[in-house]
Structures are given as structure tokens and as C-alpha cells.
């Protein structure tokens, strides 16, 4: 399960304890939770964010930088953050199937290579077409999300979708 963290939440002094309590109350294993945070939130207070992220990582909670490439962080910070994955922002993915200059493809390819070189999982956001998905697969992007797979749904619809989902169809 993935959950976004806001700048307000990450600045709460009891955030880590609250997350631990929720995990215990729901009987959810920490490694099943992925917390997503944007570059912008991290850069608002690098020291605090790094401290909190390290505390969460030490509890086996997965961490991801969301909307990668749209914030104002320096690449030099990337190796300092205890993250497991990067999520490529949809603004880079959307133009893939209509990009006559090839610039979007080059940027996405570079982000994927960077993530792989750092040992990070990569997730592409905003996949809407089969062509985008095929290009991302060719670039060795491991995971994706977007309207191609499903529009946002409530918990009942999500359960139904997961039960009936044809993974083989997507992977072809």
C-alpha cells in the first residue's frame, strides 16, 4: 500500500510513532507500506526529512520519491536519502507517444538509468497508452501506473478490480 506524505505530516514530531501504531492496529507488516514524498517536501527541510526518512527506513517501511524530476532538489542529495524507489512524473511520460524531438524519451531513459545505477525501483506515473507502456518496458521501467490500468476507484471497486485483473494481458 502506498501513502503520500505531505510537508505538514513529515514535520509532525510524532509521525513515526503514529505510523507504527497504525501498522499495529491494522496488523500490516511495515514492508507492505510504501510512503511517498515529493522532492519539494524533502527540500523544505532537508535535515528533518532525512532524519524522519531514516527512522522510517529503520522500521522496514519502504520509501519513494514521488513526481521525480519536477522538484528543485539537487541530484547530489539523491544518494543521501534512504529511498527504495523513484516515481517518474507524468509530465515526462505523457509526451512519450507524441514526442517528435525525442527529448521526453531521453529524459525518461536517463531517469530510469539513474534509478537502476542507484539500485532503486522505478515507477512511471501517468501511463495512458499501450505505446507509452511499450516504450517504458523497452527502457526497463519495472512498474507503472495510470489510466491505462485503471482510473481512481473506491475500496470496493479496487478489491473487485484486483480479483479480476489479468496480469498476463498487461505484460504482453
* Domain CATH number, residue 39: 3.20.20.450
Each residue's pLDDT tens digit, 9-61: 999 999 999 999 999 999 999 999 999 999 888 888 889 999 999 999 999 99
The answer on pLDDT for 112 being more than 80 is yes
pLDDT of residue 168: 56
* DSSP string for residues in 87-122: EE-HHHHGGGGG-SS-HHHHHHHHHHHHHHHTT-EE
Cβ atoms of residues 53 and 83 within 8 Å = yes
The answer on pLDDT for 157 being more than 80 is yes
Task: Give the closest residue to 3 by CA, choosing from 72, 71, 115, 18.
Answer: 18
8-state DSSP, 32: G
- Mean pLDDT for 119-147 is 95
- Structural domain harbouring 10: 2-171
pLDDT of residue 65: 93
Residue 116 contacts by C-beta under 8 Å, 6 or more apart in sequence? 122, 140
Each residue's pLDDT tens digit, 89-104: 999 999 998 888 889 9
Measure CA 108 to chain center.
14
Each residue's pLDDT tens digit, 58-99: 999 999 999 888 877 667 777 888 999 999 999 999 999 888
The pTM of the full predicted model, rounded to 2 decimals, is 0.85
- Mean pLDDT for 143-152 is 90
CA angle 38–43–45, rounded 5-degree value: 115
The answer on pLDDT for 4 being more than 80 is yes
d(CA 157, CA 61): 26
pLDDT of residue 169: 56
155 pLDDT band, cuts 50/70/90, is: confident
8-state DSSP, 31: G
pLDDT of residue 36: 96
d(CA 48, CA 53): 8
Contacts 24+ apart (CB under 8 A), 136-139: 136/93, 136/96, 136/108, 139/108, 139/109, 139/112
d(CA 48, CA 69): 21
In the chain, the number of structural domains is: 1
pLDDT of residue 129: 95
Amino acid at each position: 500500500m502506498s501513502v503520500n506524505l505531505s510537508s505538514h505530516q513529515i514535520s509532525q514530531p510524532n509521525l513515526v510513532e503514529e505510523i507504527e501504531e497504525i501498522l499495529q492496529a491494522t496488523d500490516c507488516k511495515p514492508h507492505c507500506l510504501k510512503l511517498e514524498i515529493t522532492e519539494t517536501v524533502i527540500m523544505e527541510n532537508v535535515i528533518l526529512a532525512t532524519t524522519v526518512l531514516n527512522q522510517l527506513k529503520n522500521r522496514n517501511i519502504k520509501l519513494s520519491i514521488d513526481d521525480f524530476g519536477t522538484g528543485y532538489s539537487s541530484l547530489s542529495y539523491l544518494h543521501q536519502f534512504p529511498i527504495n524507489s523513484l516515481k517518474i512524473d507524468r509530465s515526462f511520460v505523457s509526451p512519450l507517444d507524441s514526442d517528435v524531438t525525442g527529448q521526453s524519451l531521453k529524459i525518461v531513459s536517463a531517469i530510469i538509468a539513474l534509478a537502476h545505477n542507484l539500485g532503486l525501483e522505478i515507477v512511471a506515473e501517468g501511463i495512458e497508452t499501450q505505446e507509452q507502456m511499450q516504450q517504458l518496458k523497452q527502457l526497463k521501467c519495472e512498474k507503472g501506473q495510470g489510466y491505462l490500468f485503471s482510473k481512481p476507484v473506491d475500496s470496493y471497486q479496487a478489491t473487485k478490480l484486483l480479483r479480476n485483473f489479468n496480469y498476463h494481458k498487461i505484460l504482453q
